[in-house]
Every structure is written in structure tokens, then in C-alpha cells.
Structure 1
């Protein structure tokens, strides 16, 4: 249920004024310890410049390296790491379209294909999905983590449940609350989110045991680097999963994987395959998910083909 809820919410939130992505790492001191369900990226002034560079994620190490579109820089000077890892970073950045190689006096060098805009991200919103508040799991701890760290501009809880005062009292005050119906795409704002302070230092909760809480202090520079990495990952990844390689698989009009046998949206990695009694190996449906994403969001599929698009009317979360 939660997976189908998440995909329906992503589809409902997607618009040509923003980028929507799923399942992104959102911890700084202990990477991998926190994953947010949905991330909304609102474009900033430099968004068109970023979109014109590449449709894929640009490797963070390449963005952070002292390499620009001017004079080429020796790879060994650009990346303070072992040669094998440096070569991998360069390969990925070249494939993405951000770096280009050249040799100078027998030395491998790189230069950026364009200036990387620092202002391409307007805001980042984290959405935690919990369709059934009667089964909250680690919800409170996850939301406390997000609020204390302040990595996102806003944090929102999305649920299908009726939200009571008791529910609100257990949710950190800055967290906004949406009630969302995945069948109709109707979304009610039960409580507006309070803006956080992503440019300030934050506190990352590492462990909570009874009266003891272990934390790590995260400075503003580290948060800024992580926000850029989240934005890059969100831009390159999106939210649509590939449909299963099954003869009964289909794709909905908005790009969600659907099973014709069970007549519903399915989780390709969790429900499909040899363990499903209706599974029949096949190439799967012919789905052009990139074209769908290009048409329905601010993401640009082929920046070399038509150049950057102008973003207008950047509303907050309007339908």
C-alpha cells in the first residue's frame, strides 16, 4: 500500500515547475542512515543553466573539483584521490556531459563544458509518506531527525488517514501535514509546514536510547554540499521505476508500473518476478518514461536537442 501511495503522490505533485524524486539519502554525518521518501525540487534562477548541461546526475566529486570551463586542469590536480577512483569520476562526468578530456604535454586533463550554477536550486522539500497513521513505525524519530538537521527547506508528512489532534501532537511542530487520497489525487493541507534553516548549522541525531541521545554537529558548509548532492541525485533519478519484464506488465498514462492480471499498480522489485504466480517472462511494455518525465516536469530530457526551457509561474505546491 505504501509503495502505491508513494507513486500516486509523486504523480500528483509532478508539474513543469518542479522536479520530483523518490528514495534519496538525507543524512550527512552518517550517510545512508536516513532516506526520505519523496523530494520536491523547486527551480532557482540558475535552473535553466543546469538543465542545459546534462539530463543525468553530475557526479558530486566533479562539481566540487577545482575545474571550470576555462583552462584545462590535470586530472591528478583536480581530484585528490587514487588514480583509479579519479578515472571513474572523470568517466562518469564525461558521460553525463559535464567534463571533457584533453591531453596536454602527455598529461590527462579535464575542463568543464559549462559553468556550474550555484543558484539552480530554489528549495528542497522532504515528504515522508505514512498512509496509515495507525501503524506509525519510526515516523516520529524520522521526523525529529529531519527537523533537527534542517537539511531541507520544509518537511511534510503525507498520509491517507484522518488526522486527529492527537496525531498532530506527536508530530514535530515544524512538520507540515497533508492528507492525500491516492485514488482521486485530492490533497488537503491539514497543517502548513514551518520553514527550516538549511543555511544554518544542524544537529544530526545518531541514536536515541531512553534518556540518552547521541548527536553529531553538522556545519553549514557540509549541509550545503549535501543539499547540492540531493538536488543532483533528484534531477538525475526522478521517481518512475522501470516496469517489470513480464508479459502482463503495463504502464499507466503517468508512467507507473501496472499489472494487468491483478489490475493495479505494482512494485516491480518487491512483487514481480519468479515468485509471482502470474509472472510470465517477457521484455515488458514499451514505455518511454523519459519523454513522460520531460513533458510533465521541469526536467529536460535532451538538453542538446532544444536547449534549456524557461520556467515560469513557479508556484509552491499548487495543482
Structure 2
């Protein structure tokens, strides 16, 4: 199975069989977040998850959460941020837009406060590396060693469609769990070993010929990054695609993009007029947010809160 359809099928399965929030393509580094992208991130609801669902269905910018803006006395917006005025302005506007901040004016100045205290809403994070075909492992071993060494997530799992041999298991870190996922059935080949996510870790930042640059990442840095990852996953989910303008593409259970001409789930971003089966038509009508809302604990439109779909490139500092 191609990696994209495998990833979507696994996400749909995890969403249907667990109470975890499932998201795709989440930055999994601290000093260099984009150096490691986690294929699938599962976020377990924490003690105050219900309070988070009442705030907004969107990702809350990290700068808004980490600012000096609280729920008590409203603060002058500029003095509440340790960043450039331009970025602070952008963050305030976005936080107001999604309903996390409310603002008022006094004497020509703008003041803001949180509408509710930011809750302790998530528990364990599970990072999943997808490799449907273990016959083409690429740099799999190095990628998994990065995850284990940094221990930013609580567990690391390798998901594959291949039959898993002892030789395969011996080539990956022993802390990594292994799942075989095939035809909608998930078999746990090896349970993951819990990682020390609340302690300092070591991050591989850059590789050169004959040299590898690493950085020690403190427990506090990891905690901040974990919150950003959880927020990113909360707002993003895994249905981050749009249906193409082709009559052959129709939604399957859970909103999977199924191509009748090819007889399988496809990557909609690669659909186009150059496909021999392309049949121009309006895209299939489906509300992917509604699909997620109906199948998970996530709430798209909390009562009384604003919601507007944001582009995926908004607030890149949080990604």
C-alpha cells in the first residue's frame, strides 16, 4: 500500500477504536521542529479535556497561551508579549477571532484578557512512524533513534503493512513498539516502552560529513513543545486534504478520498487532468470538520465561541 492511503486508513482506524485525538504531520523537534515530522500523533485526553472543547475548535497560538494575558484584570496588549509588535498584533487578533481572548478599549488603548483559563487538557502523546513496506526502510532506524533519544512523546510506534520478522525488530530501537496494520486489522507485534518525556532529552539538530550536532533539551523546553504539539493536533486533525474536481473521487466511511476508477483511497493532491481516469466535475460535497466532530471528542463549534477555518501556514512559529 502507498504511504498516504496507509496513513489515512490507520488514522481512521485509530479514531474509530480509541478515544485519542489523531492528527497527521506534526513537527516533532524542539530546537529544530521541522527537522522531524511525526507521521501520526495520537493525543490522549487529560483531566480537563472538556474545558478545552468549550474554548474553540481551532488551535490556540502558543504565544497567546504563553503571554502575560490572564483571566483576571485585562492587560494592555503590547506589554503582555515578549515579541515583536507586529507578531504580537497578529497573535492578539487571532486569539480574539477564535474566542480565546476578549478585548476592550480604555482611553484609546486596547486591553485583552482570556475568556477562560487555559486547561490541563491532554495526557500522553504517542508518535507513530508509518512505513508500509519494510523492504524499503529508507532512514527508518535513524528517524526512530531521534524520537527515542529526544523522548518528546511518551511512546513511539512503527506501523507497517509488511510481515514483521525478528530481523526487522533487531534493526530498530528496542523501545519502539511495532504494529502490523493490514486490511483494517491492527496487530500489536511489540508493545512500546514508555519514554521519559518529563525529563531532559537529546536532540539531533544537524548532520555533517563525519560530525553530528546534538543539543540537550531541558524538561521545561520539552513541556512547552509538547503543549504546542497537542494544540497543533487539536486544531489540525488528520483530514487535511480537499476533494478534487473529479467525479471518480467520492468520500468513504469517515471522509476517506476513494477513487472508483483506481479502486482505492488516493492522495487528492495528486489528482488532476493528467490522470487517465479523470472525469471533470464539482468536488464531492462533504464537511470534513463535521465528520471529525461526529466521530471524536473534539468539538468543531463550541457554544458561543467564534470559529473560522485558518490556513495551514498560519502561525508557523507554533508548527
Same fold (TM over 0.5): yes
Whole-angstrom CA distance in 2 between matches of 1:48 and 1:251: 30
- Partner in structure 1 of residue 151 of structure 2: 150
- Partner in structure 1 of residue 176 of structure 2: 175
Cα deviation for residue 150 of structure 1 reads 0.4
Whole-angstrom CA distance in 2 between matches of 1:201 and 1:165: 31
Deviation string, structure 1 residues 185-239 (Cα, Å, up to 9, x no partner) = 1111110000001110110012446764320111111111110010001000000
- Partner in structure 1 of residue 163 of structure 2: 162
- TM-score, normalized by length of structure 2? 0.90
Structure 1: runs of 5+ lacking an equivalent? 307-319
Q: Does 1:253 align with 2:253?
A: yes
- Partner in structure 1 of residue 314 of structure 2: none
Q: Does 1:279 align with 2:281?
A: no
Query: What are the equivalent positions in structure 2 for 1:24-35 lying under 5 Å apart?
Result: 24-35=26-37
Q: Does 1:2 align with 2:3?
A: yes
Q: Does 1:266 align with 2:266?
A: yes
Deviation string, structure 1 residues 243-284 (Cα, Å, up to 9, x no partner) = 223233211121111222222211011x21233233344430
Query: What are the equivalent positions in structure 2 for 1:1-319 lying under 5 Å apart?
Result: 1-15=2-16, 17-117=19-119, 119-181=120-182, 183=183, 185-208=184-207, 212-240=211-239, 241-269=241-269, 271-304=270-303
Q: Structure 1 pair 159/54, CA: closer, same or farther in 2 (3 Å)?
A: same
C-alpha RMSD over aligned residues: 1.6
Structure 2: runs of 5+ lacking an equivalent? 306-319
- TM-score, normalized by length of structure 1? 0.90
Whole-angstrom CA distance in 2 between matches of 1:34 and 1:283: 36
Q: Structure 1 pair 97/282, CA: closer, same or farther in 2 (3 Å)?
A: farther
Whole-angstrom CA distance in 1 between matches of 2:113 and 2:94: 14
Deviation string, structure 1 residues 62-105 (Cα, Å, up to 9, x no partner) = 01111112111111111222222111111211222111121122
- Partner in structure 2 of residue 311 of structure 1: none
